[in-house]
Amino acid sequence: MLSNTIQSLLNQQVESEAASSQYYLAMASYAETKGYNGVAEFMYRHSDEERQHMLKLVRFINERGGHAIVPALSQPPTAFEGITEMFASLLEHEISITQKINELVAATLDEKDYTTHNFLQWYVSEQIEEEALARTIMDKLNLIDNDKGGLYLFDRDVAGFTVTSANDAPAG
């Protein structure tokens, strides 16, 4: 059984993952309208992955006797300054998600909820991989430095970039 504190924190994380999914969907739509089809592909897939992260939490909360709450979401941005700025926002966003996961993990230790602690290890690994991928992408974009030919090649390649982590393994 989940404590009220842990249930509430897990539900906040449901909201964060749902908001991430919407955020990356907005990025996908922006990229697609600007002709960056590879970037759009990457972002559509990333958005789907965030929805899966949300669903794992929803199922876990309910399986542990809690009630997962489907949250209302605020509208994400509709425009970005450019592709580099958009990926910089993605990295910043993932760093903030890592922080939330870390706080959640700390709370499970305070509450002696070792089952939830164990479940969250998947998210800890996932965040390491997602941040690493976002940093690799930013390194490439900084090298390209808005060169049109470079961005063309980046767009072609980024469609194939995936997080190769815990994503392949079942949660919990």
CB nearer to ligand FEO: give 53 or 117.
53
Give the nearest residue (CB) to ligand FEO: 53
For the CB of residue 146, give the shortest distance to ligand FEO in the complex, in Å: 26
Whether the Cβ atoms of residue 165 and residue 123 lie closer than 8 Å to each other: no
CB nearer to ligand FEO: give 94 or 113.
94
Whether the Cβ atoms of residue 18 and residue 54 lie closer than 8 Å to each other: yes
CB nearer to ligand FEO: give 68 or 151.
68
Residues near ligand FEO (CB under 6 A) are 17, 20, 50, 53, 94, 97, 126, 130
Q: What is the CA radius of gyration of the chain?
A: 17
The token pair at 91 is 């990295």
CB nearer to ligand FEO: give 54 or 151.
54
Which residue type sits at 148? K
For the CB of residue 12, give the shortest distance to ligand FEO in the complex, in Å: 13
For the CB of residue 150, give the shortest distance to ligand FEO in the complex, in Å: 26
For the CB of residue 80, give the shortest distance to ligand FEO in the complex, in Å: 17
Cβ-based neighbours of 10, under 8 Å, separated by 6 or more: 2, 57, 60, 61, 66, 68, 104, 116
Helices (H), the chain: 4-33, 37-63, 83-110, 114-144, 148-158
CB nearer to ligand FEO: give 43 or 151.
43
The token pair at 24 is 């990356």
For the CB of residue 90, give the shortest distance to ligand FEO in the complex, in Å: 9
Residue in the block written with tokens 């542990």: 64
